[in-house]
Structure 1
Amino acid sequence: MVAALVAGVLLLAGCTSSDDEPDGSPSPAPSAQATTSSESPGLSNPVEDGVYPEVGDPGVDALEYALDIAWDPDTRTMTGRETVRLRATDDADHLQLDLAADLEIGSVSVDGSDAAYEHRGKDLVISHAARADQVYRLVIEYDGTPTPVPAPSQRRDMDTIGWETTADGEVWTMQQPYGAYSWYAVNDQPSDKALYSFTITAPAPLVGVANGELVSRSTTAGETTTRWELDEPAASYLVTIAIADLVETKERSASGVPIAYWTPRGRPELVAKLREAPAGLDWLEERLGPYPFGSLGFLIVDSTSGMETQTMITLGDSAYATSPEVLVHEMAHQWWGDQVTPVDWRDMWMNEGMAMFIQGAWQAQSDGTTIESVMDEWAETEPRLRSDHGPPADYDPEAFGAGNVYYGPALMWDELRKRLGDDEFWRLVRAWPAAHDNGNADYADITTWWSEQTGEDLSGFFDDWLLGETTPQRS
């Protein structure tokens, strides 16, 4: 996600087979530290969110979602079959996921047996005794007309989140901080990362696009089916889907990363704009290290917003959302936000502040100016943003995604750069995501890590910038 001060407006611009483990079999519990894909794909240590506790359930740890979705644009109806492998984190008499009330459940099974359930509001509660650290396989059949959910935000480009349907029946999704539950049953909280696969069917010329690698595409009897696999774990807010008349254009970056541009048919000018991305990716890899995933995609949808959905960046069809600085910002999130993800929404400053700082560094080089001059400009507005919406790590929950979580932390990172020197600062910016590959981190994790790595006690520095009611003085 990216924020920009443009005419005073903030714009939003961030598989293993189920046969690998027998149903109901024990799975090792995660340690207190973030787990990695190499240890156990999809294994997480879910928490109750500190900002939005009504979404997500720490009692379950989703390991893998397989989503089979068919879309009828004429009736605006989605038919879904979802298979979820999840681990119970504690003994309980039920398993619970988030699923919007707009969607009607046809059946639920657990490990092959029908299960009773209640669907109260957005809570899908499945009556099945659960034992801590056992893995269960749920199959959920459902259908209905998905609708977006209200966003806890004051931004004009972010009234609703989740599943959006256009006037002509095309579909796109953006769901930060939550809203994935508007179209599938999910533990909709960032600490629970999981693997994903998607099978999407729709009438041609519509085509389904999602995260990860396009495994297959076929058209039969006027219906196009695509299969996608995301083989590194992602938080639910980083998952995306679009069903539209889209055309794919392919190329590779200088380092060999496969890049795909999914753009509306007949819009070659959008492809031309997106072709700025490989140069930005090269610039990022010089500073952040090798791109952390197997592929990169850009998806243009009928929106004014955009965000860094993992490996498939979703961008609105607007001049700003497709600008080079936004491309750099959203690609930076693949390291800061996607490779390592906040434990809960209190720490969205962690990824948004760094992506904003990196965007500023890129803008300075592109414009032939200095990082300091960019930060000077941003510093003019930051005190008002902090006053209006709260400190970056203690913001107003009804003002999600406001500029206070972008610009204050960006200024903070620049102050730390000046304190440590460029070489040491960029070394640590590069080292943090790699050290927490496919994991999650919270305020204590990152602030302690930077103190340990620098040999300085930076706790007061971080507290002043992230929790202070007033903006610290810059050097």
Structure 2
Amino acid sequence: MRPARHRRRAAWASLAVAGLLAGCSSGPGADVDLEPAGPAPTSSDGGADAGPDGEGRATDPSPAPLTDPVEPDLDLAVSTPREDSVYPAVGDPGVDALLYALDVSWDPAAQRLDATATITFRATRSAPRFQLDLAPSMTVGEPTLDGEPVPFARRGKDLVVRAPVEADQRYELSLDYVGTPSPTRAPTTRGDFSTTGLTITDTGELWTMQEPYGAFTWYPVNDQPADKALYDITVHAPAPWTGIANGHLTGLDTADGTTTSSWQLTEPASSYLVTLAVGDYTHRSNATESGLRVDYWTPRGMVQHLGGLETAAASVDWIESRLGPYPFDSLGLVVTDSLSAMETQTMVTLGNSDYVLSPQVIAHELVHQWYGDQVSPDDWRDVWRNEGMTMLMQWLYEDDHDIAPLRNTLQAARNADQGLRDAYGPPGAYDARQFGGSNVYYCPALMWNELRVALGDDEFFRIARSWLTDHDGRSVGREQVVEHWEKATGLELSAFFDDWLLGDTTPAPGVPGA
């Protein structure tokens, strides 16, 4: 997720540097004015994208190409769910979801979601029952487990299925559900991010951003980051509206006034990285230097921000030179009515504003495809791992593209570090009521930069790439991060990481022993 800009409130927060994009918070001393210091991003009204490197890239206004669906490899999605240490009320460690097959119909006039979910999962332990998360506003029909009806109970958002399961056995749960979805309150005071989950616009369109949880507002799910799964999503919407979701577009058809779109995500994703948008969308595309097609789904008639949006292909080229090949086999961006941006896997979700659609924010969300999506945290205590590396990469991008000098950005971030720790807590032990605070962005970004300076760019990015390769497609914990960097560098880094992630005060510059 992108950090949003702040107004200045406290003396420690006097940051007027491009790229320091703190989340809007109403907490004491937390608001920061972070207006870009560099030139404003340019926009384009059509046929070509002037990328951040100044090179035009032709776009394709033709209908989106389809990809043949494939048989999902469920073994890719085997995970080790756990009770989250920050938000333990969400998710069930007894369920390892492997595949969510969702068939969703949206009636904007009635504001009614009518859906069927078929969930293939592995039981991680033998138990007389198991549960998923689903908003209480959704009325559930009679579920079946491997084709047999099973009893269930509703306890708030908990959908408890009263059927015995055996450890390491795989099952298929199917259920129909219907209702008017609404987002749930987010555990934060950010101004751009007060709710999480599915949102209905004034015109009846849908969009979702669901970090740290909120997928349960529109489908039954094990809503925790440790459990990655595959997805097949089919969306029925009144023509000319189109449903947009993650992965490859495998079907697109309009009949009897209804448009049906089908999407397949063949690489496992945590539930917070899933997206759904329904609206009047048009399609464009361009390509990276390696030939990856980048699809852009924008509201019909949108012209103003296309230039910033379509820098995505060139940004992927820039990121690949540091973090290695793009980790998935499809990439798209969808523009919604949100105030923020979210790194939803293979289909980035973006709000429709100048700043959110600027090249540096686009680059930020794309870096997350590597750091956050390819390898995800297994506990929300480690959201710093998503945001810290991504924030550093954004700062480097801004420096390379003459948006903001790195030296100034680093100094401003270091000046702010202590105030952020005071307001939100250390980045690795933050206040659970302040999810997405600026501390999980700037403090760990400074930490990673200390390692980058100590090791040099070549060695730093070699290790950063090897982390992704070694943990590809998995959700892993903080201990694995320390172990990986210690082994790769030969340095004793436990105290270094602890000081930056758990300390109440800003650590001194440098890496001991380096």
Q: TM over 0.5: same fold? A: yes
CA deviation map 1:412-467 (0-9, x unaligned): 00111111122211111122112111011111010111001100110010000000
Q: Do the aligned residues in 2 keep the contact of 1:55 with 1:189 (CA within 8 Å)? A: yes
Corresponding residue for residue 302 of structure 2: 267
2:452 counterpart of 1:445: no
Of 50, 63, 66, which aligns to 2:98? Answer: 63
- What amino acid maps onto 1:425 in structure 2? F
Whole-Å separation in 2 of the counterparts to 1:176 and 1:463: 25
Paired residues for 1:36-75 under 5 Å: 40-75=75-110
2:359 counterpart of 1:318: no
2:207 counterpart of 1:172: yes
Corresponding residue for residue 10 of structure 1: 22
Whole-Å separation in 2 of the counterparts to 1:456 and 1:474: 16
Q: CA deviation at 1:348?
A: 0.5
2:120 counterpart of 1:82: no
Corresponding residue for residue 196 of structure 1: 231
Q: Do the aligned residues in 2 keep the contact of 1:191 with 1:342 (CA within 8 Å)? A: yes
Whole-Å separation in 2 of the counterparts to 1:71 and 1:199: 11
Whole-Å separation in 2 of the counterparts to 1:11 and 1:247: 30
CA deviation map 1:300-341 (0-9, x unaligned): 000111110000000101111111111111000000000000
Corresponding residue for residue 236 of structure 1: 271
- What amino acid maps onto 2:219 in structure 1? Y
Q: Do the aligned residues in 2 keep the contact of 1:202 with 1:208 (CA within 8 Å)? A: yes
Corresponding residue for residue 102 of structure 1: 137
Unmatched 5+ stretches in structure 1: 21-36
Corresponding residue for residue 34 of structure 1: none
Corresponding residue for residue 33 of structure 1: none
2:313 counterpart of 1:278: yes
Q: CA deviation at 1:343?
A: 0.5
Residues 368, 180 of structure 1: alpha-carbon distance in 2 compared, 3 angstrom cutoff: closer
Paired residues for 1:314-353 under 5 Å: 314-353=349-388
Q: CA deviation at 1:70?
A: 0.1
Q: CA deviation at 1:364?
A: 1.1
Corresponding residue for residue 26 of structure 1: none
Whole-Å separation in 2 of the counterparts to 1:102 and 1:393: 34
Unmatched 5+ stretches in structure 2: 9-20, 25-68
The TM-score, its normalising length taken from structure 2, stands at: 0.86
Q: CA deviation at 1:368?
A: 7.5
Whole-Å separation in 2 of the counterparts to 1:90 and 1:161: 30
Paired residues for 1:201-216 under 5 Å: 201-216=236-251
- What amino acid maps onto 2:164 in structure 1? A
Q: Do the aligned residues in 2 keep the contact of 1:107 with 1:142 (CA within 8 Å)? A: no
Residues 268, 5 of structure 1: alpha-carbon distance in 2 compared, 3 angstrom cutoff: closer
Whole-Å separation in 1 of the counterparts to 2:172 and 2:263: 20
Whole-Å separation in 2 of the counterparts to 1:368 and 1:136: 52
Q: CA deviation at 1:370?
A: 5.0
2:171 counterpart of 1:159: no
CA deviation map 1:211-257 (0-9, x unaligned): 00000100000000000000000000000000001111122111111
Q: CA deviation at 1:6?
A: 4.6
Q: CA deviation at 1:474?
A: 2.1
Q: Do the aligned residues in 2 keep the contact of 1:343 with 1:440 (CA within 8 Å)? A: yes
Q: Secondary structure at the match of 2:350?
A: strand
2:391 counterpart of 1:356: yes
Residues 181, 369 of structure 1: alpha-carbon distance in 2 compared, 3 angstrom cutoff: closer
Whole-Å separation in 2 of the counterparts to 1:16 and 1:91: 32
Whole-Å separation in 2 of the counterparts to 1:327 and 1:190: 23
Q: Do the aligned residues in 2 keep the contact of 1:341 with 1:441 (CA within 8 Å)? A: yes
Q: Secondary structure at the match of 2:468?
A: helix
Corresponding residue for residue 27 of structure 1: none
The percent identity for this pair of structures is 49
Q: CA deviation at 1:369?
A: 6.6
Q: Do the aligned residues in 1 keep the contact of 2:121 with 2:172 (CA within 8 Å)? A: yes
Q: Do the aligned residues in 1 keep the contact of 2:426 with 2:504 (CA within 8 Å)? A: yes
Paired residues for 1:133-148 under 5 Å: 133-148=168-183
Does 275-284 or 140-149 show the bigger shift?
275-284
Corresponding residue for residue 288 of structure 1: 323
Does 442-451 or 273-282 show the bigger shift?
273-282
Q: CA deviation at 1:5?
A: 4.3
2:285 counterpart of 1:250: yes
Of 119, 126, 139, which aligns to 2:161? Answer: 126
Count of paired positions: 454
Q: Do the aligned residues in 2 keep the contact of 1:357 with 1:414 (CA within 8 Å)? A: yes
Q: Do the aligned residues in 2 keep the contact of 1:95 with 1:128 (CA within 8 Å)? A: yes
